[in-house]
Amino acid sequence: MVGFDFLSGVNVATVVFFGNILDVSPAIYSGAVHGAGTNELMKEQRMNTALTLTDRANLYSKAHPKWPALRVTGRWIDGMWIMGNNYRNSGYYGAYPHTYLERVGSMFPDATKVLHLFSGSIPPGNYIRFDRLPGADVVGDAERLSSYFPPKSFDLVYSDPPYSQEDCDHYGCAMVNRNKVLSECVKVLEPSGFIVWLDQVLPMFRKIELKMCGVIGMVKSTNHRFRVVTLFRKLG
């Protein structure tokens, strides 16, 4: 998918993208980022009772009983997803496979401040869509993510960067530095928050900042690339 930008002011949020300054309603930031319309009881429960990896795997199985269960060891969640083709998808190059967000989201019902990096064709919702191209809630550069959001803005970040130069040619963008983008995600993530990284490459990360707590292999169908869903949790 493609890439991102945001700054919050008192009355407006100012977005800087390749020298262009745009005014964005602060409701986008104060609402979607800070969880407007979310259940306050859920927030309180989340603070008092953190879900374990076993809890999250069990939530997945409960939501999707017909699909193979995820396995939990002392170290992480692991498993294999065979997604299948959906011929009624958006038609957007690089769009998430059918049921991907449904599967991942079932493991994180406690997330209230969600960011979608490289958001592509994802429709509007109670989250921030961040992409390089117009149409996202915030348009800008993922390698400078912390310039647009303050620390601890999110408790869950989805990231699906371009995998290759061929993908970038489709999107009309340059390849991103995966390691830098992941480092920027850490800066805007609250402690104990999660990053869901979908890619063909495992980016480098600092073990004093992140714990890799999930690895799920994913294949769509024949003649499609094999990808890995990596779950990271911020330490501290």
Q: What is the pLDDT of residues 171-207, one digit of tens each?
A: 555 657 889 999 999 999 999 999 999 988 888 999 9
pLDDT at 99: 86
Neighbours of 58 (CB within 10 A): 16
pLDDT tops 80 at residue 30:
no
The Cα 26–Cα 31 span in angstroms is 8
User: What per-residue confidence (pLDDT) applies to 218?
Assistant: 87
Whether the per-residue pLDDT at 24 is higher than 90: the answer is: no
| pLDDT computed for residue 13 by the predictor | 34
pLDDT for 126 equals 94
Q: Are strands 210-219 and 77-82 parallel, antiparallel or unpaired?
A: parallel
The answer to whether residues 162 and 118 touch, using CB atoms and an 8 Å cutoff, is yes
pTM of the model: 0.76
Measure the CA–CA gap between 130 and 140, rounded to whole angstroms: 7
**Lowest mean pLDDT segment, chosen from 4-13, 31-40, 155-164:** 4-13
Instruction: Give me the mean pLDDT over the 12-41 stretch.
Output: 37
Q: What is the pLDDT of residue 217?
A: 94
Task: Write the CB contacts of 176 (distance below 8 Å, at least 6 apart in sequence).
Answer: 3, 142, 143, 161, 162
Our CA angle for 210, 212, 215, nearest 5°, is 155
The confidence score (pLDDT) of residue 86 equals: 56
Residue 8 predicted with pLDDT over 80: no
Q: Which of 161-165, 194-198, 213-217 has the lowest mean pLDDT?
A: 161-165
The region of weakest confidence among 28-37, 86-95, 131-140 is: 28-37
Q: How confident is the model at residue 32 (pLDDT cuts 50, 70, 90)?
A: very low
Q: What is the CATH number of domain 13-234?
A: 3.40.50
